[in-house]
């Protein structure tokens, strides 16, 4: 930080300490962060639409299919070039990278993340990458929140809250749904639902939505007015829609990670770009609605203009047959996730929020058309309502955010007439999906690595502990070739500890030697040459692998063994011990940090 910036921080801090409480200063920062997050959303959205406007002139009108194939490849190539040769850093996926920063980096996000997604996401999506802008917008806002909080020297708990404020601001600005945005921040970022956290979140959300109104007026990304009222007779169909949504949610997550893992096995970034870009281009060539975010398709489905939603395709001559239309809509549900995963695999920057809404709308619309055309009902069900509720069902299942799904759709519809069906479908989808997939797309990889924060405070504190800082290295290691005399002179005399790690000549950990085990013979000099370390050592009750074991697993090892000290290894080589007392002390200190 420059000298001028340091002086400014000092003056602001001095003024706030004299005139404001910590909570009041937090509210001011939340308003600033809400405004900046909203501004970031405006910039990303406008840049994307500007690129789309340049491309959607006579080029696509006159040479429709050819350029649907080419544009995504160009956009992904430009994104790849910017990341590799300009930023020269891995940008990462928006929300997962933010969650990782909260859990493992104390809420500290690198400064380049404040602007990286502003450039790369519009290039990816503007040229037709089949992903959304919500994730990059949240990442941009969160990075702004993180760096602003660092600038004003906020503690970790306040920094995490301000990141949540930025996320709420970004979502509020995009969808003009301030309540859903607050719930999103609480559900996805595992913030505590208290008055202390609610007020800053509310201020940030309102600040961001006012920014959006200033630049975009009353225009919304999903303009929709509810036409049909909820009927009790539709409840069984909403229940079945919830079951269908859970199946589609698990399908989404399964395909997403399968394709992601396949690309990780490709070492060359150029090959990833080639395979992903060409695969996406071919997919969009045959299924044009997969091009870009897909909000145009969603809005056409909500208006029940399914012919407009399907666009120009190879089956235009058969679209007078409603069952062909249903099959094509089902195809959108099945193949959207392939297009999204290929975009990410090729190195594109975006989010999964829009693809989830896209799939959910196509699923709900397809379901309603099937029910209405089976001839089993006297009065048809509302296609637009099921399209809207379908989005909530898939959002609840894929993102594991049922409350966000319910309130977002309720706010987008301008009322709560659909509240009951939204609750039914979202609850069923989430409940079933959670039984088979415990974590969302955002959190699954973090959970596997033990880096996931949850609303479970005990789990959160354990996750935030830095194990490397707990390793004690003032133990005297003994080579297995040593005898009892060496143990006395090189170990017992020089060490204040009553436990000794046993290693080989390459420092590979072999076991432990306890002072209690040699106490009966340690004063018998006749045995100094006869007894070797290998005769008196024992197996360690448990071993901590510094690269694999997370705090929760380590605590479990202490509980299962009743040990007070456990050895720590790195690739099998001894590096030190961790004591239960030191870990419990660190736990108490971290608990104070995250709750203050």
What are the sequence ranges of the domains in the chain?
3-216, 232-452, 461-595
595 has a pLDDT exceeding 60: no
591 has a pLDDT exceeding 90: no
Confidence of residue 224 (pLDDT cuts 50, 70, 90): confident
What architecture is domain 461-595?
Roll (3.10)
Sequence-separated (6 or more) residues with CB below 8 Å from residue 118? 40, 43, 44, 47, 136, 140
Name the CATH topology of 232-452: Clc chloride channel (1.10.3080)
- Which of the 8 DSSP states describes residue 225? -
**Tokens 């999204």, residue located:** 340
423 has a pLDDT exceeding 90: yes
Instruction: Give 3-32 pLDDT, tens digit per residue.
Output: 565 566 566 656 666 666 777 888 888 899
Q: Which CATH number fits domain 3-216: 3.30.450.20, 1.20.1250.20, 1.10.10.60, 1.10.3080.10?
A: 1.10.3080.10
Sequence-separated (6 or more) residues with CB below 8 Å from residue 23? 196, 199
Confidence of residue 218 (pLDDT cuts 50, 70, 90): confident
Domains 3-216 and 232-452 share a fold: yes
Tokens encoding 499:
């436990």
Confidence of residue 149 (pLDDT cuts 50, 70, 90): confident
Q: Please answer whether residues 269 and 83 qualify as being in contact, where contact means their C-beta atoms are separated by less than 8 angstroms.
A: no
Q: Among candidates 384, 42, 412, 394, which has minimal Cα distance to 222?
A: 412
DSSP secondary structure string for all residues of 12-76? HHHHHHHH--HHHHHHHHHHHHHHHHHHHHHHHHHHHHHHHHHHTTHHHHHSHHHHHHHHHHHHH
Work out the mean pLDDT of the chain and round it to a whole number. Answer: 83
Instruction: Give 472-497 pLDDT, tens digit per residue.
Output: 888 888 888 888 888 888 878 888 78
Sequence-separated (6 or more) residues with CB below 8 Å from residue 333? 248, 359, 362, 363, 366
Q: Please answer whether residues 41 and 212 qualify as being in contact, where contact means their C-beta atoms are separated by less than 8 angstroms.
A: yes
Q: What is the pLDDT of residue 426?
A: 95
Kindly state the average pLDDT of the residues 217-234: 78
Report how far residue 245's alpha carbon sits from residue 456's, in angstroms, rounded to the nearest whole number. Answer: 27
């Amino acid at each position: 930080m420059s000298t001028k910036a340091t002086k400014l921080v000092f003056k602001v801090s001095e003024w706030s300490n004299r005139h404001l409480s910590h909570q009041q200063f937090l509210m001011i920062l939340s308003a600033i962060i809400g405004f900046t997050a909203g501004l970031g959303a405006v910039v990303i959205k406008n840049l994307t639409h500007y690129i789309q406007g340049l491309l959607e002139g006579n080029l696509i009108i006159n040479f429709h299919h050819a350029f649907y194939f080419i544009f995504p490849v160009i956009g992904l190539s430009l994104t790849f070039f910017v990341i590799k040769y300009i930023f020269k850093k891995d940008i990462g996926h928006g929300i997962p990278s933010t969650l990782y920063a909260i859990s493992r980096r104390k809420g500290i996000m690198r400064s380049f993340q404040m602007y990286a997604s502003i450039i790369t996401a519009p290039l990816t999506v503007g040229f037709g990458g089949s992903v959304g802008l919500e994730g990059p917008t949240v990442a941009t806002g969160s990075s702004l929140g993180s760096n602003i909080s660092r600038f004003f020297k906020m503690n970790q708990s306040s920094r995490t809250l301000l990141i949540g404020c930025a996320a709420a601001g970004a979502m509020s600005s995009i969808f003009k749904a301030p309540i859903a945005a607050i719930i999103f921040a609480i559900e996805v970022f595992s913030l505590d639902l208290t008055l202390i956290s609610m007020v800053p979140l509310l201020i940030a959300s309102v600040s961001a939505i006012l920014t959006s109104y200033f630049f975009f007026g009353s225009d919304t990304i999903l303009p929709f007015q509810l036409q049909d009222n909820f009927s009790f007779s539709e409840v069984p169909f909403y229940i079945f829609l919830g079951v269908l949504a859970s199946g589609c949610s698990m399908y989404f997550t399964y395909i997403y990670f399968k394709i992601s893992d396949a690309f990780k096995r490709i070492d060359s970034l150029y090959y990833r770009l080639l395979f992903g870009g060409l695969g996406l281009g071919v997919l969009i060539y045959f299924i044009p609605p997969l091009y870009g975010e897909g909000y145009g398709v969603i809005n056409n489905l909500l208006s029940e203009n399914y012919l407009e939603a399907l666009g120009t395709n190879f089956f235009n001559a058969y679209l007078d047959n409603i069952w062909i239309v249903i099959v094509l809509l089902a195809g959108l549900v099945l193949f959207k996730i392939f297009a999204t995963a290929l975009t990410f695999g090729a190195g594109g920057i975006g989010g999964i929020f829009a693809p989830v809404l896209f799939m959910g709308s196509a699923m709900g619309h397809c379901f309603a058309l099937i029910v209405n055309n089976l001839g089993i009902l006297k009065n048809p069900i509302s296609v637009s309502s099921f399209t809207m509720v379908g989005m909530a069902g898939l959002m609840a299942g894929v993102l594991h955010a049922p409350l966000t799904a319910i309130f977002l759709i309720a706010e987008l519809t301008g009322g709560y007439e659909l509240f009951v069906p939204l609750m039914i479908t979202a609850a069923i989808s989430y409940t079933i999906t959670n039984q088979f997939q415990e974590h969302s797309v955002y959190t699954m990889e973090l959970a596997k690595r033990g880096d996931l924060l949850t609303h479970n405070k005990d789990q959160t504190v354990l996750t935030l502990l830095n194990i490397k800082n707990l390793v004690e290295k003032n133990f005297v290691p003994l080579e297995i070739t040593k005898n009892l005399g060496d143990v006395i002179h090189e170990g017992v005399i020089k060490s204040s500890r009553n436990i000794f790690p046993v290693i080989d000549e390459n420092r590979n950990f072999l076991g432990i030697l306890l002072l209690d085990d040699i106490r009966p013979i340690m004063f018998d000099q006749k045995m100094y040459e006869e007894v070797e370390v290998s005769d008196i050592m024992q197996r360690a009750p448990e071993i901590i692998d510094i690269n694999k074991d997370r705090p929760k697993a380590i605590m479990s090892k202490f509980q299962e063994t009743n040990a007070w000290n456990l050895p720590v290894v790195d690739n099998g080589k001894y590096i030190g011990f961790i004591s239960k007392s030191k870990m419990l002390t660190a736990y108490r200190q971290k608990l104070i940090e995250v709750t203050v």
